[in-house]
Structure 1
């Protein structure tokens, strides 16, 4: 099965500020398999620390953005969060992990 997904963000009023990702997969069984494989591949292949020129503060901020995106995805699926603070959003990841079914 071949799958292709395009993800675009930006402002229609400012086409020069568009951002697009295209994901193509041929080996996966379902669209979900393609999406998960793409996300894992992207995260595993980026050397953030090197990209941040070994600046740990920038690295930490970059990782925080990724973790907050994961938290927001979990929250969007119905997990309740106390407030919209970064701390509360990150705690939802811990709660999610604690509730995983192994």
Structure 2
């Protein structure tokens, strides 16, 4: 079962059981809150999966920092203009990625 299927099932169950249990009771409110939390947790998991794994995010941040260091060093040294650095940006990224 996927997260989407689980979300839909929980929404359906919550709706059906909500008909039998009045939501104005303390148990009904607890029930409603528990289902809402479960649905939110599954939706959050889906969002994280679209971002990527923790390892992929860490690698991307490492690459970004490495590229920023190279760009900063070149700008401080005055060796290249911003436009020249931008022109070779993807070459820098490839080199850094190859090392990780």
Q: TM-score, normalised by structure 2?
A: 0.31
Q: Higher Cα Rg: structure 1 or 2?
A: 2
Q: TM-score, normalised by structure 1?
A: 0.31
Identify, as 1 or 2, the structure richer in strand: 1
Identify, as 1 or 2, the structure richer in helix: 2
